[in-house]
């Protein structure tokens, strides 16, 4: 059928909420159901910009806060031609973290307004669905310790969570909050069922522009 495009599905959530687990499972589940699906994750660490970000996250280098924010955004923009190409040829994209993480992490720092943080990502392909995996700090702690990367501490993550909640009040976006304390299988079933409905619905619609 002409004009049949893939859906852009984003998974967001705090550290250890299950984003990696569920995005992988969703791609497998959609493929098993006969749909085309691929996984993307941000930051995409394999590009030149991605390597700068990775080194920053691993604390091997320091970057000025505005600069790193713009690099994270550029790291999404550099994938836009690929994202559009895939969606337009009917591939569903499951994306682990997107502009919402970018904005939440920088605006959790001192002296950054949410509005300034959003600007570089205005016009990115708009997700058809954003799944927010909600998990309390205490539940997350049961899943293991924080890693050693930058931002991996409770104080900062709490501030990030507040910023996410603010972004979720935007009714122009299709946010779905999921209780991430459930079992991996139950979560997968719930997520797959929501994703399948969205995939059916978006097929005749053009790709939107984020925050425009
Ligand atoms: N629903 C779940 N229940 C219990 N443990 C989980 C669940 N989902 C993921 N985990 C475990 O929690 C840890 C973090 O999961 P991960 O998918 O890497 O989270 P994230 O990508 O959001 O940081 C992993 O050890 C994973 O196996
Ligand atoms: Mg992960």
Q: What is the pLDDT of residues 56-92, one digit of tens each?
A: 999 999 999 999 999 999 999 999 999 999 999 999 9
pTM for the predicted model, two decimal places: 0.97
Task: Quote the tokens at residue 36.
Answer: 């085309």
Residues 6+ apart with CB under 8 A from 207: 5, 8, 84, 87, 88, 125, 126
Mean pLDDT over the full length of the chain: 96
Cβ–ligand 1 contact at 181 (below 6 Å) = no
Residue 210, helix vs strand vs coil:
coil
Q: Nearest ligand, CA of residue 133?
A: 1
**Cα 2 to ligand 2 centroid, rounded to whole Å:** 35
Task: Quote the tokens at residue 187.
Answer: 């979560």
Per-residue b or e along 76-96, where b marks 16 or more CB atoms closer than 10 Å to that residue's CB: beebeeebeebbeeebbbbbb
Query: Residue of the nearest CA to atom 14 in ligand 1?
Result: 16
Least confidently predicted of 97-101, 113-117, 123-127, 147-151:
147-151
Cβ–ligand 1 contact at 141 (below 6 Å) = no
Task: Quote the tokens at residue 62.
Answer: 């320091």
Residue appearing with tokens 């994209």: 93
**How many whole angstroms separate alpha carbon 54 and alpha carbon 48?**
10
Topology adopted by domain 8-202: Rossmann fold (3.40.50)
Question: Would you put residue 173 in left (φ > 0), alpha (ψ -120 to 50) or beta?
Answer: beta
Residue appearing with tokens 């079933």: 189
**Pocket probe mutation, ligand 1, options 11, 143, 157, 180, max atoms within 8 Å of Cβ:** 143
Residues 6+ apart with CB under 8 A from 135: 13, 14, 16, 17, 18, 180, 181
Which whole number is the average pLDDT over 132-140? 92
Contact status, residue 105 vs residue 160, Cβ threshold 8 Å = yes
Which runs of consecutive H residues, i.e. helices, occur in 33-64?
48-57
**Pocket probe mutation, ligand 1, options 17, 18, 164, max atoms within 8 Å of Cβ:** 18
| pLDDT for 191 beyond 50 | yes
- Residue-level length of the chain: 212
Cβ–ligand 1 contact at 12 (below 6 Å) = no
| pLDDT for 9 beyond 80 | yes
Cβ–ligand 1 contact at 144 (below 6 Å) = yes
**Cα 97 to ligand 2 centroid, rounded to whole Å:** 9
Per-residue b or e along 113-136, where b marks 16 or more CB atoms closer than 10 Å to that residue's CB: eeeebbebbeebbbbbbbbbbbbe
Cβ–ligand 1 contact at 143 (below 6 Å) = yes
């Amino acid at each position: 059928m002409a004009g049949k495009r893939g859906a852009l599905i984003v998974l967001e959530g705090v550290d250890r909420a299950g984003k990696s687990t569920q995005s992988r499972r969703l791609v497998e589940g959609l493929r098993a159901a006969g749909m085309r699906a691929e996984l993307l994750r941000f930051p995409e660490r394999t590009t030149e910009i991605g390597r700068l970000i990775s080194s920053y996250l691993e604390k091997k280098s320091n970057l000025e806060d505005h600069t790193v924010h713009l690099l994270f955004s550029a790291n999404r923009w550099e994938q836009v031609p690929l994202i559009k190409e895939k969606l337009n040829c009917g591939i569903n994209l499951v994306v682990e973290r997107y502009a919402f993480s970018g904005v939440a992490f920088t605006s959790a720092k001192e002296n950054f307004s949410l509005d300034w943080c959003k600007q570089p990502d205005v016009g990115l392909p708009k997700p058809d669905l954003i799944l927010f995996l909600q998990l309390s700090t205490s539940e997350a702690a049961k899943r293991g310790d924080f890693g050693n990367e930058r931002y991996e501490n409770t104080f900062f993550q709490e501030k990030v969570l507040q910023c996410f909640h603010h972004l979720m009040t935007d009714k122009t976006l299709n946010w779905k909050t999921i209780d991430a304390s459930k079992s991996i299988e139950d979560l997968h079933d719930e997520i797959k069922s929501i994703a399948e409905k969205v995939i059916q619905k978006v097929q005749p619609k053009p790709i939107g522009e984020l925050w425009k």
